[in-house]
Amino acid sequence: MYVQYVSLKGSGMIIEQHYLDCLSQASYFIGDETTGRAVVVDPRRDIAPYLDSARTHGMQIDYVLETHFHADFLSGHLEMAAATGATIAYGSAAETEFDSLRLEHGERISLGDVELEIRHTPGHTPESISIVVFESPDAPPHAVLTGDTLFIGDVGRPDLLSSNGVTAEDLAGQLYDSLHEQLMTLPDDTIVYPAHGAGSSCGKNLSTDTSSTIGAQRQSNYAVGDMSKEEFIKVVTAGQTAPPNYFAHDAVLNRELRPLLDETAAPHALTFDEAVAAQSNGAVILDTRSPEDFAAGHIAKSVNIGMAGRYAEFAGGVLSPGTPIVLVADEKRALEAKNRLGRIGYDNVVGAVAAPDQSLAENPHSVAHSSRLDIAGLQNALSSLQGLQLVDVRQPGETALGHIDGATIIPLTRLVEQLDSLDASAPTIVYCAGGYRSSIAASTMIAHGFADVSDVLGGYGAWTAATASTGS
């Protein structure tokens, strides 16, 4: 996580962008130094950074503004309200179980000199809003917080509600109107602050940049180019990635009253035997170490999702909401492992194995080892193993650029729901781009009863490098 800090000299306005790389998620702290009043927009659930900002600047957080009901993370609006007394606010199309202020289109929130204007911008979701920031009531727009309506290089996907009776085409049409009637009418020098960057499943072509301007987007963003509404609908509904299964769960949970996250409470320490007993009773053992450490030895039928990657997102892709979870993590990172799961609403952490390296060493009878193949091993298996099934777990945008002949393509985010399409008794080899997702996939398949699963070291990248060098 990093914070981009902006303070306009002489204006008294503070804007901080809090960017969370592991979820590609941006939230914002906006304050007025003349009054000491502030708002937080789209906060993540572990809220300590925003409270630190308020203390640093000597400010009171009066509002928590949500641009929409997020699907990719569980927002921290309830935690913020409990900690600060702030009012939670949405666009007027939103309905919540908890007390919230409903903001009309064109309504302004004054922090003193700094003012925020609400613009209804449906399309990604029906209740989506954008927030235009003014350093003073009479000043031109300084910035616009676009939520998931406008990204840098892309726009929000309109298909996430397609299972709820709202068609992607209808929302795409609303998105077109929101872009052209509300956002692209702003001055070219208006800074664009989106809710997500590259890697997010909320769009398909997001830039690694986390801010831009309306003028720059007018020139470079394909989605606001010169096309009809009908053309736009076709373009933005095509080629979307398969979102993780937890998205639907979080979109609902963000509307509801639910327990608060205690980000200071470490998971309960479990003995090795307690962890195995919990597994026997239905818990999943989630091993957060690297694929290399996992392969060297782990509790049998554990699922490996290393914390170095998009840990919470992938956990939400292969584990069902509400699943009891036992963590295996470096003891210094067990709290982080729990809190990162909390960011997507996975709160049912039973505990964490105490002294995991020592526990594994003392219980060799319960330790398993992963089969990982280099490219030579993969080539040998492809030529010699009868009935081998090869599975590519990359996203459609990746596999469209090439895949190994004969591979069955199942994105990792859809693996669990499609396991029945595979033969659990057949020898199976799984690959991804580089070896991180394939370890998740292979361990998930073994946990679901597959008998013989290996993954490929270096993934498709290593395959293409090897085949290019040999000319085969």
Per-residue confidence band for 472, with pLDDT thresholds at 50, 70 and 90? low
Q: Do 205 and 130 sit in the same domain of this protein?
A: yes
140-162 pLDDT, tens per residue? 999 999 999 999 999 998 987 65
- For the CA atoms of 215, 221, 226, 232, the dihedral, rounded to the nearest 10 degrees, stands at -140
Q: Do 78 and 20 sit in the same domain of this protein?
A: yes
Among 368, 386, 415, the domain boundary falls at 368
Q: Do 326 and 435 sit in the same domain of this protein?
A: no
Confidence at residue 9, expressed as pLDDT on a 0 to 100 scale: 43
Query: 165 pLDDT exceeds 80?
Result: no
Domain range enclosing 465: 371-470
How far apart are alpha carbons 334 and 268 in whole angstroms?
Answer: 10
Q: Do 68 and 201 sit in the same domain of this protein?
A: yes
291-326 pLDDT, tens per residue? 999 999 999 999 999 999 899 999 999 999 999 999
Is residue 7 exposed (0-12), middle (13-18) or buried (19+ Cβ within 10 Å)?
middle
Residue range 266-277: average pLDDT? 97
Q: Do 357 and 399 sit in the same domain of this protein?
A: no
Q: Do 212 and 295 sit in the same domain of this protein?
A: no
Q: Do 91 and 235 sit in the same domain of this protein?
A: yes
Q: Do 362 and 400 sit in the same domain of this protein?
A: no
Q: CA dist 387 to 54, 446, 452, 463, Å? A: 61, 18, 12, 21
Average pLDDT over all residues of the chain? 93
Tokens representing 394 are 């990359």
Q: How far is CA 32 from the centre of its chain?
A: 30
405-452 pLDDT, tens per residue? 999 999 999 999 999 999 999 999 999 999 999 999 999 999 999 999
The answer to whether residue 179 is domain-embedded is yes
Residue range 1-8: average pLDDT? 54
Strand-pairing partners, residue 390, are 429
The answer to whether residue 425 is domain-embedded is yes
68-94 pLDDT, tens per residue? 999 999 999 999 999 999 999 999 999
Among 368, 397, 431, the domain boundary falls at 368
**What proportion of the chain, given as a percentage, has pLDDT over 90?**
88
Q: Do 15 and 137 sit in the same domain of this protein?
A: yes
Q: Where are the beta strands (DSSP E) in 94-164?
A: 101-103, 108-110, 115-120, 129-134, 143-147
Per DSSP, the residues of 347-409 read: --EEEEESSHHHHHHH-GGGEE--EEE-HHHHHHHHHH-TT-EEEE-S-HHHHTT---TT-EE
Residue range 48-65: average pLDDT? 97
The answer to whether residue 383 is domain-embedded is yes
Q: Do 200 and 275 sit in the same domain of this protein?
A: no
Q: Tell me, what DSSP letter sits at residue 240?
A: -
Query: 339 pLDDT exceeds 50?
Result: yes
The answer to whether residue 261 is domain-embedded is no
Report how many helices (DSSP H) and strands (DSSP E) the chain contains, helices first.
Answer: 15, 25
Confidence at residue 471, expressed as pLDDT on a 0 to 100 scale: 58
Q: Do 139 and 65 sit in the same domain of this protein?
A: yes
Per-residue confidence band for 397, with pLDDT thresholds at 50, 70 and 90? confident
**What proportion of the chain, given as a percentage, has pLDDT over 70?**
94
Higher-scoring residue by pLDDT: 167, 141 = 141
Confidence at residue 242, expressed as pLDDT on a 0 to 100 scale: 73
Among 368, 390, 412, the domain boundary falls at 368
The answer to whether residue 418 is domain-embedded is yes
The answer to whether residue 263 is domain-embedded is no
Q: Do 111 and 247 sit in the same domain of this protein?
A: yes
- The CATH number covering residue 401 comes to 3.40.250.10
The whole model's pTM is what?
0.93
Degrees, nearest 5: CA angle 69-246-294:
135
- The CATH number covering residue 83 comes to 3.60.15.10
Confidence at residue 203, expressed as pLDDT on a 0 to 100 scale: 61
219-253 pLDDT, tens per residue? 999 999 999 999 999 999 887 777 788 998 999 99
Is residue 425 exposed (0-12), middle (13-18) or buried (19+ Cβ within 10 Å)?
exposed
Tokens representing 8 are 């306009």
Domain count, the chain: 3
The answer to whether residue 242 is domain-embedded is yes
Per DSSP, the residues of 418-461 read: GGGGS-TTS-EEEE-SSSHHHHHHHHHHHHTT-SSEEEETTHHH
The answer to whether residue 264 is domain-embedded is no
